[in-house]
Structure 1
Amino acid sequence: MDLDRKLIEILDILSKYKEPVGATIIAKELSKRGYKIGERAVRYHLKILDSLGLTKKVGYVGRIITEKGLEELRKADVFYRLGSIYSNILEKMLSFNYYDRYAIVNRAYIYADFNVVIKEIKKIYNSGFAVGDRVGIVDKGKYVELYTLCSLNFDNILIKNGILPTHVCGGIVKYEDGEPVKFEEIIYYKATSIDPLKVFIKEKKTDVVGILEEGNGYLPVNFRYIPKSSMEKFERILKNDELKCVISYGEENVLGLKVDDDSIGIALIGGLSPIAVFTEKGYYADIQPMELLVKIDSLHKLEKNERKIVKKKSNYKIKTIFYKMVNAMSMVDYDIDKHDGKVIVNICYIDKKYADDALDLLKEAYKNNLGIGDKFGFIEEKDKIKIQTLCSITIDGILLKHSLPTIPKYGGVLEIKNEKKRFIDIIAYNGSSLDPHIVFFDAVDCESTILAGFREFHRIIKDDIEEVLDRLNWNCVIGIGEPNNEIFGINVEKDMCGIVYNGGLNPIVLLKENEIPVEIKQMHEVVDYSKLISYKEI
C-alpha cells in the first residue's frame, strides 16, 4: 500500500486523538505541518482512507483511525520516517514546560506480578539508575502498566534556561565497578526509523541487572551536545537538578564519543533503563517510548539515591558498521570466471542435535531464493554446527574488484505483499555500530518480510554493474532502480541508482522461525568460496 504524504499526515493527526476528529481540526493541523488544503480537500482524502479501511467515520462527529490504519502508519513511507525519532524528540521536548509540573513519560506493559514489579522498581530507583524519582504503576491484573520519566524532560529544562540541546544518539554504556567506562554501541537518532534504546533493550544488549548486583554491566544512555558557552549555566542547573540523570559530561570526548568543537557532550540515563531490568529477567514488556504527557504530581515519588557524575574520556573510539563493511569489501577477491576466491560469510552456531532439521530448512531457504547464491558452509565443531552464509558485502567486493563501487546505505525490513515490495523499517549503516540485520533479525519471518540491504551507485556504471551481476549469476539482487528514482520506498542522491540485495542472514531467519536456537556473528569470516557446498549437492 503506497500512500502519499498528506494521507500519512492525516493518519498521524488522527492517531494523536482518543476521540473522533473532524475535517476542520485536521485542516488546521495539516496547515501547521505545511499542507495548506481546505476542509473540502480533507474530506476527499478521508474518503480515500475510509475506502482503504484505515479510518472510520463515527456519525457526524468525525473520523477515528483504525487498527489497520495504525499498522499502516507504522510502516508507511519509511524514507519519510527516517529520523522520525529525532523529530519526535524535538516535538515532545517543545510541547510542554517541566516547570509547570508536567513531564513526558515512557509507557510499558510489563507481564509480571504486581508485587514483583514494585520490588524491582524500588531497587532500581534506590540505586539511582532512573530519570527523576517519579514513577507510575498500575496493576492491570494480567500485566502492570508502568510509567517512567523520559530523559527529554532534562532537555526541556535546558531549553527553558536558554540552552539548546542537540540530540545525537542513543547507546549503551559499559559500567565497571559501578562507574561508566565507555559507550559500547550507538545508533544515531537521524539514522533510524525505530527508537535506539528500545532496540538495545529488545536485542538484549543491556545489563542493568549486572550493574545493580555487581557494578558491572551495560546501561541504556542518551547523548546530547550543548554549546560550550553555556557550560557555567549548565553546571548551575545541575546543582538544583531534581532529575539527577546526567552520568557524564565534558569536552572533546565523553566516554569514547567524540564531541564537536565548541560543544559539551552530555550522557544521560535512558528513561527506559528501569524497564530494561524486566526484559533482562525474562518478562515480556511492550515498550512505548516518549508516549504521554502527564502531571508530575500524579506519579508516585520513590526514594532515589544520587549517583556521582563522572567526567571521563576513553581511548576507545566507537565506529559505525559502515566502516566495517567498507573494510570487508577489500578482502573479497572472488573470480567470476574461476568460481573461486575469498568471500565474506556470516556465521551461525546451532546445537548438533538440530543438524538434520537445519539442513532441510537451509535447502528450502536456498530453493526459495532466500539466500545469496546457492552455497553455504555446514561444519561440525564439537557439540555445535557452524553454518556459514554468504554476506551481501561479498557482492560489493566483487563489484569493487571490477572498479564498480557501491555505497552501503541502509539495512532493513522489506515487506513483500501481493508481489509489491517496500521497506517498512531501516537503519543507516553510517549511523549505527550495530548491523541493522542483527537489529531486525527477529522482526522478519521470511514469508511477508525479509532482511534486505540498500546500496547506491552512480548512474554511469549501471550497465556495467548489470553485466557483472549477470555473469555472477547468483541470486542476490531483489531490484535495481533507475537513476534519480526511489526504489521500494527509499530515495537516492542526485545521479545515483539504488540497488537492493537479499540479506545474507535470511536462511538463518528460517531456522529461527522453526524454533532452532541460533547464535549469530555477522560479517565474521573470510573463506574460500570453493569450501562452501551447494544445496543442490546435499
Structure 2
Amino acid sequence: MDAKVKRRAVPILRALRDAGRPLGASRLARDLEGRGIDVSQRTVRYYLAMLDREGLTRSCGKKGRELTPLGEQEVANSFVAEKVGFIAARMDELACQMTFQPRRRSGTVILNISLVPAARIGDAVAEMMAIFEAGLSMGRFVTIARPGESLGRLKVPDDQFAIGTVCSVSINGILLAEGIPAVSRFAGLLEVADHQPVRFTEMIYYEGTSLDPMEVFISGRMTRVREAARTGNGIIGASFREIPAVAVPRVRKTCAKLAQIGLGGLLMVGKPNRPLLEAPVPEGRAGLVVVGGLNPLAAVEEAGIKTHNKALTALFEFERLTSFRELPSLLRGASQ
C-alpha cells in the first residue's frame, strides 16, 4: 500500500478501532464525516476491500468489518508526525465528556488502566497502598479486574490483573463543569524534598508528543516514588496546568471539596502572572501542579514488578470505584 493510499485508509482503521465493534460502510462514512473527512460509502467500500486484501480488516458478515491484530498494529504505528499533539486532544475530549458531579458523588471520571502479573499482584497491591497512604496519588479510589474479566473495553489476559486508577485529567473535567477552563501544558518528574514540591527535573509538553509522558517515565524507571512515600524525598510524576487568574479562589475551593470526597490531587496553586516551580505562566493566567494518577504503578515498576500502563483509557462510573484500602479484601475474594 503506497503512502497516499495509506493516508486515506488509516482514518477508516482508526474509526474501527475507536468503535470497538464491527462497522459497515454506511456507518463508517458517517463517523468519518464527524471527524471532518467527507467520503462516500462507495469510497469506504473500496478502501475496505483493499484493507481486507492487506490483512488489516476482516469481514464479519452483515455486521461489517473489524480490525485484525495486524490492523491494530498499523493504527498504532501510522503517521507518527500526525499523532503529535494527540495526547492533548485526547485530554480535552475526555474532559468534555465527563459527567462527574462532586455534590452527588456520581457520574464518570477518567480512568488509567494498568496490567500487573497475576503471580505478583499481592506484592503490587502492597506497593500501591503505600503510595496512596502517602497522598502521592490522584485521590484514594481504584478498581480491579481479575484475569479473564473486562475493564472498560480491555479484556484482561489470563495471567494478569487490571488495575484502574483515576487520571489526573479528571480535574480538568470537573473544573470545566464549573465554568473554569484548565489547559494541560506538560507532565514531568517532580522533585520532592521534605514532602514539599521543589522543581521539575524533566518535562514533556503534551502538544509536542504522541506518547503519554507518565507512561514514558514509568517504563524508563525514571521515578523515585517509593522513596518519596517512605522518606518525603524523591521524584514523582506530576503535571502542570494553566487556569484563568481570576479563577484561582474558585479552584482552591473546588479542589478542597474534591479532597474531602477522596479525589485530592492538587499539589500547588500558583500566584497570578507568576512562574510556578520555575515554569513560566502567561499574563492573566495562574499555574496548577497536579499529582500523577499513575504514581502508584510507578512504585510497582520500581519494585521490579513489570507493569503495562495506559493513561486516558476510558470514562468510568465513579460509583463503581472502591477505596484503595479495600484492595486486600478484593484480592482475598479473587483467590477463593
Residue 124 (structure 2) aligns with: 117
Q: Whole-Å Cα distance in 2 between the matches of residues 58 and 76 of structure 1? A: 24
Q: Whole-Å Cα distance in 2 between the matches of residues 104 and 160 of structure 1? A: 14
Residue 265 (structure 2) aligns with: 245
Residue 219 (structure 1) aligns with: 236
- Superposed CA offset, 1:347-376 (max 9, x none): xxxxxxxxxxxxxxxxxxxxxxxxxxxxxx
Residue 189 (structure 1) aligns with: 206
TM normalised by structure 1 equals: 0.55
The partner residue of 1:72 within 67, 71, 74 is 74
The partner residue of 1:170 within 187, 193, 197 is 187
The partner residue of 1:128 within 127, 135, 140 is 135
Q: Whole-Å Cα distance in 2 between the matches of residues 203 and 260 of structure 1? A: 32
Residue 345 (structure 1) aligns with: none
Residue 13 (structure 1) aligns with: 15
Helix, strand or coil for the counterpart of 2:313?
strand
Q: Which has the higher contact order (CA 8 A, sep 6+)?
A: 2
Is 1:202 aligned with 2:219?
A: yes
Residue 532 (structure 1) aligns with: none
Residue 258 (structure 1) aligns with: 280
Helix, strand or coil for the counterpart of 2:185?
strand
Compute the displacement of 1:117 (Å): 2.6
- What pairs up with 1:343-362 in 2 under 5 angstroms? none
The partner residue of 1:158 within 138, 153, 175 is 175
Paired AA for residue 111 in structure 2: V
Paired AA for residue 235 in structure 1: R
Q: Which has the higher helix share?
A: 2
What 5-or-longer segments of structure 1 have no aligned partner?
A: 305-538
Query: What's the RMSD between the two structures over aligned residues?
Result: 1.7
Helix, strand or coil for the counterpart of 1:284?
coil
Paired AA for residue 133 in structure 1: R
Compute the displacement of 1:303 (Å): 5.3
Is 1:145 aligned with 2:162?
A: yes
Helix, strand or coil for the counterpart of 2:19?
coil
Helix, strand or coil for the counterpart of 1:60?
helix
- What pairs up with 1:13-32 in 2 under 5 angstroms? 13-32=15-34
Helix, strand or coil for the counterpart of 1:159?
helix
Q: Give runs of ≥4 in structure 1 deviating > 6 Å.
A: none
Compute the displacement of 1:4 (Å): 4.0
Compute the displacement of 1:38 (Å): 2.3
Residue 88 (structure 1) aligns with: 90
Residue 34 (structure 1) aligns with: 36
CA contact (8 A) 1:150 1:290 kept: yes
Helix, strand or coil for the counterpart of 1:291?
strand
Is 1:101 aligned with 2:107?
A: yes
CA contact (8 A) 2:120 2:305 kept: no
Percent identical pairs in the alignment equals 29
TM normalised by structure 2 equals: 0.86
Compute the displacement of 1:120 (Å): 2.2
What 5-or-longer segments of structure 2 have no aligned partner?
A: 148-157, 327-336
Residue 289 (structure 1) aligns with: 311
The partner residue of 1:55 within 46, 54, 57 is 57
Helix, strand or coil for the counterpart of 1:225?
strand
Larger radius of gyration: 1
Helix, strand or coil for the counterpart of 2:62?
coil
CA contact (8 A) 1:150 1:270 kept: yes
- Superposed CA offset, 1:316-369 (max 9, x none): xxxxxxxxxxxxxxxxxxxxxxxxxxxxxxxxxxxxxxxxxxxxxxxxxxxxxx
Helix, strand or coil for the counterpart of 1:234?
helix
CA contact (8 A) 1:117 1:144 kept: no
Compute the displacement of 1:189 (Å): 0.6
Count of residue correspondences: 304
Q: Whole-Å Cα distance in 1 between the matches of residues 81 and 133 of structure 2? A: 42
Q: Whole-Å Cα distance in 2 between the matches of residues 116 and 212 of structure 1? A: 16
Q: Whole-Å Cα distance in 2 between the matches of residues 5 and 301 of structure 1? A: 45
Q: Whole-Å Cα distance in 1 between the matches of residues 51 and 196 of structure 2? A: 52
Residue 300 (structure 2) aligns with: 278
